[in-house]
């Protein structure tokens, strides 16, 4: 069912309040031609009602001649802010940027965040936003997972399908996504609810077997048959399977970039209101697939850049892959077992000695 304007205004009000928006704060709403009109209009009303000074910055889309789809994450790198000094200056002078365009994995975003400006990305359909309005409990749960991830030195992922992946950790921080921006210089995504980090460069090893029902993004497709990937020294070196494997290989080959095959972020979903099945209910161009990224108990891993956490790997190709039914161990202790999140330390079971 569609969401009413009143519901969306209330949702925005809750998110902006959690983001500590104050009277007379400067809010800039970043938009493009694909921005959802209801998301924009209700954001303007909610921010203004809370006493903010609200601006709108509308920028033309880029990369249309390079991307393989209309999805905002189908081609990374150049953004509408690249070389646009006036737009960058306006965003730096803002207390809060509401990104309804998708400014992600870009040096301009990092430059803006360094000034203390907060950025909240919100590009999912209003119905998805309203269903997953973030809460303080979401933040607390993600923070508990982050504490475990920060102290770990290895993530070991297995699955009944045959996944057996080991990722040494410690080079990069844990990143918390819980849906609002309550600290200066913070970026987040509404909706979200997951924890992630990056494996140490060149050290991940093993095998990943995508099973039927696992998801490829930005393709927004459920796998119909298994796909097996070999991981050597932090890179996927082989992709084997039937049609799904052929489609993935062809898509990635089109970027002609060996860095596209590097392991990027790894982590797990913690959002109880996100559903694995929701992706099948939307037109592919209507959503970027945040239900798939955030649903509770998934193993979410990716291929592509690491510049989001200070690395130097930049590539236009970025693949997110949420998997079901995995067991995730940190230093031999289960944090997700067969796709079920274990939230409390007494429940963690040590991995048998090999």
Q: Is the dihedral of CA 131, 309, 320, 73 positive or negative?
A: positive
From CA 289, how far away is CA 137, in angstroms rounded?
22
Q: What are the beta bridge partners of residue 7?
A: none
From CA 212, how far away is CA 181, in angstroms rounded?
36
Supply 77's token pair. 């790198």
Supply 265's token pair. 């972020």
| Averaged pLDDT in 10-residue chunks for the chain of 354 residues | 94 98 98 95 98 96 66 69 94 98 84 96 97 98 96 98 98 97 98 97 98 96 97 98 96 95 98 96 91 98 88 88 98 97 58 42
pLDDT at residue number 269:
98
From CA 299, how far away is CA 161, in angstroms rounded?
13
Element (H, E) at 257: none
Supply 85's token pair. 């000094």
Number of C-beta neighbours around residue 18 at 10 A: 21
Helix and strand numbers (H, E) in the chain are 8, 20
SS3 label, residue 193: coil
From CA 97, how far away is CA 118, in angstroms rounded?
6
Please compute Rg for the chain using Cα positions.
20
* Direct distance between the N- and C-terminal alpha carbons of the chain, in angstroms, rounded to an integer: 52
From CA 70, how far away is CA 108, in angstroms rounded?
21
pLDDT at residue number 257:
95
Query: Long-range contacts: 143-150, Cβ < 8 Å, 24+?
Result: 143/176, 143/178, 144/343, 145/195, 145/268, 145/270, 145/335, 146/174, 146/176, 146/195, 148/330, 148/335, 149/174, 149/195, 149/197, 149/267, 149/330, 150/174
pLDDT at residue number 73:
67
Q: What interhelical angle do 5-18 and 37-49 show, nearest 10?
A: 60
Supply 156's token pair. 């070991």
Q: What residues contact 256, with CB distance under 8 A and at least 6 apart?
A: none
From CA 173, how far away is CA 309, in angstroms rounded?
7
pLDDT at residue number 105:
72
pLDDT at residue number 200:
97
- Residue 69 Cα distances to 186, 211, 279, angstroms: 29, 24, 17
Q: What residues contact 86, with CB distance under 8 A and at least 6 apart?
A: none
Q: Which domains does the chain have, with CATH numbers?
A: 5-131 (3.40.50.2300), 136-347 (no CATH)
Supply 311's token pair. 């690395």
DSSP characters over 304-335: S--GGGT-----S--EEEEESS-EEEETTEEE
- Cβ–Cβ under 8 Å, residues 245 and 226: no
Q: What residues contact 78, with CB distance under 8 A and at least 6 apart?
A: 62, 63
């Amino acid at each position: 069912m569609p969401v009413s304007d009143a519901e969306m205004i209330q949702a925005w009000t809750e998110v902006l309040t959690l983001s500590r928006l104050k009277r007379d704060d400067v809010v800039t709403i970043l938009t493009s031609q694909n921005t959802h009109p209801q998301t924009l209009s209700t954001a303007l009303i909610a921010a203004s009602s809370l006493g903010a000074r609200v601006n709108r910055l509308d920028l033309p889309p880029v990369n249309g001649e390079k991307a393989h789809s209309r999805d905002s994450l189908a081609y990374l790198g150049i953004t509408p802010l690249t070389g646009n000094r006036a737009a960058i200056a306006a965003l730096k002078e803002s207390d809060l940027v509401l990104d309804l365009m998708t400014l992600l994995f870009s040096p301009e975003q990092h430059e803006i965040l360094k000034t203390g400006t907060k950025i909240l990305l919100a590009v999912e359909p209003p119905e998805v936003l309203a269903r997953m309005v973030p809460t303080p409990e979401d933040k607390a749960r993600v923070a508990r997972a982050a504490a475990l991830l920060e102290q770990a030195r290895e993530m070991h992922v297995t699955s009944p399908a045959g996944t057996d992946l080991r990722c040494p950790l410690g080079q990069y921080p844990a990143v918390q996504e819980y849906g609002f921006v309550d600290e200066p210089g913070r970026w987040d995504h509404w909706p979200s609810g997951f924890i992630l980090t990056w494996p140490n460069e060149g050290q991940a090893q093993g095998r990943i077997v995508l099973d039927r029902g696992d998801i490829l993004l930005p393709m927004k497709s459920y796998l119909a048959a298994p796909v097996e990937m070999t991981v050597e020294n932090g890179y996927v070196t082989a992709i084997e399977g039937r049609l799904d494997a052929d489609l993935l290989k062809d898509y990635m080959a089109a970027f002609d970039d060996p860095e596209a095959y590097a392991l990027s972020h790894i982590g797990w979903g913690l959002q109880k209101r996100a559903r694995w099945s929701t992706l099948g209910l939307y037109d592919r161009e209507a959503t970027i697939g945040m239900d798939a990224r955030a649903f509770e108990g998934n193993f979410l891993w990716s291929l592509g850049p690491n510049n989001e956490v200070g690395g130097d790997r930049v590539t236009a190709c970025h693949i997110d892959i949420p998997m079901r039914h995995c067991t995730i161990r940190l230093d031999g202790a289960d944090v997700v077992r067969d796709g079920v999140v274990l939230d409390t330390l007494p429940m963690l079971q040590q991995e048998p000695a090999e």
